[in-house]
Amino acid sequence: MDFGLQNKVALVTGGSKGIGKAIALELAREGADVVISARTQSDLESAAQEIAAETGRRIVPMPMDVTQRDQVDRVTAEAAQQLGGLHGSISRQFREGCPAFSASFCHWATVNRRAGR
């Protein structure tokens, strides 16, 4: 099934293991380039290499703690700059009352508007 993700860019939080990694893999299989984020750089690099080897897509590991707004802002901006914008984001994590995560959605919208997406 074609979900229209060919050459799109997505950011997946919690993308180094488990459900987040599986989501990143499926997005890449559908033709998207994917930024994966989590807190542990070594896990991110391993997951990125594995997904890229299987799919041939660009998988960019970027460490981030979603509870830290400055990290959310940095990663979304860097991801958009490196890959020409973000078409979507998937958060495998939810932390009730986490201001950084809720604020990041507005930031993603701003980044996408600036990139003409």
**Count of CB atoms situated within 10 Å of the CB of 14:** 22
Q: Residue 94 pLDDT > 80, yes or no? A: no
Is 51 part of any domain?
Answer: yes
For the residues 90-104, what does the mean pLDDT come to?
A: 50
What average pLDDT does the chain have?
80
Q: What pLDDT does residue 3 have?
A: 67
Please give the pLDDT value at position 1: 62
* Number of domains forming the structure of the chain: 1
Q: Is pLDDT of 103 > 50?
A: no
**CATH classification of the domain holding 109:** 3.40.50.720
Residue 31 maps to a domain: yes
Helix (H) or strand (E) holding 102: helix 99-114
Per-residue model confidence as pLDDT tens digits over 21-69: 999 999 999 999 999 999 999 999 999 999 999 999 999 999 998 878 8
| 3: in domain | no
Whether 25 is covered by a domain: the verdict is yes
66 is a domain residue: yes
> Which carries the bigger pLDDT value, residue 76 or residue 88?
76
Could you tell me the residue range of the domain that residue 107 belongs to? 9-114
pTM as predicted: 0.77
- pLDDT for position 87: 77
Please tell me the predicted confidence (pLDDT) of residue 30: 92
| DSSP sequence for 32-100 | -EEEEEES-HHHHHHHHHHHHHHH-S-EEEEE--TT-HHHHHHHHHHHHHHHT--SEEEES---TT-HH
Tell me if 4 is assigned to some domain. Answer: no
